């Protein structure tokens, strides 16, 4: 979004130092900024619906990729991590339903969810697999 000061910026502390994953995680920051911008400009539900569709595809691909990496290096907390991903997918599906029903409170809930994903899931759960993936030679 040229000309706009982003609501969120990517920070080094989010990095897990695996190039593909860091690139994917930057996508979350971009989605946060998209949702924030859509709320600020009072974008029509169709725009928000488009963002959630994009988020759904993003999350499916990203979770799948991370789980494959964790499987590859026999990460011991894979089951727990996979459960967290499933729960996040369930919430994303619910946001999609809320938006399609025209429930505008979904917008703030979606923004909060994405912020939580960045601040909780990436910084805590994703950072837990970092050493195991590095030890397996993933960069």
Do the Cβ atoms of 14 and 122 come closer than 8 Å?
yes
| Residue 34 in the binding site for Fe ion (CB under 5 A) | no
The nearest distance, CB 83 to Fe ion, in angstroms, is 11
In the complex, the smallest distance separating the C-beta of residue 121 from Fe ion, rounded to whole angstroms, is 6
CB of 65 to Fe ion, least distance (A): 9
Of 18, 13, 133, nearest in space to 73 by CA: 133
3-class SS letters over 89-138: HHHHHHHHHHHHCCCCHHHHHHHHHHHHHHHHHHHHHHHHHHHHHHHCCC
Binding residues for Fe ion, how many (CB under 5 A)? 2
**Minimum CB distance to Fe ion, residue 46 (Å):** 28
Report the residue number, 34 or 126, with the smaller CB distance to Fe ion: 126
Q: Which residues contact 14 (CB under 8 A, 6 or more apart)?
A: 22, 25, 29, 118, 122, 123
Could you say whether residue 126 binds Fe ion (CB under 5 A)?
Answer: yes
Placement of tokens 């029509």 in the chain = 44
By beta-carbon proximity to Fe ion, the closer residue of 78 and 94 is: 78
Residues 50-69 that bind Fe ion (CB under 5 A): 66
Among the residue ranges 4-12, 48-56, 100-108, 119-127, the one whose residues contact Fe ion (CB under 5 A): 119-127
Residues lying near Fe ion in the complex (CB under 5 A):
66, 126
């Amino acid at each position: 979004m040229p000309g706009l000061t982003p609501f969120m910026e990517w920070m080094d502390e989010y990095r897990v130092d695996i190039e593909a994953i860091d690139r994917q995680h930057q996508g979350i920051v971009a989605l946060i900024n998209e949702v924030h911008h859509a709320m600020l400009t009072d974008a029509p539900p169709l725009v928000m619906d488009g963002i959630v569709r994009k988020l759904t595809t993003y999350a499916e691909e990203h979770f799948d990729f991370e789980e494959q990496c964790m499987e590859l290096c026999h990460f011991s907390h894979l089951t727990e991590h996979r459960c967290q991903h499933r729960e996040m997918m369930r919430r994303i599906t619910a946001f999609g339903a809320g938006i399609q029903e025209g429930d505008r409170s979904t917008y703030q809930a979606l923004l909060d969810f994405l912020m939580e994903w960045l601040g909780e899931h990436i910084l805590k759960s994703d950072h837990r697999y970092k050493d195991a993936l590095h030890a397996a030679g993933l960069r």
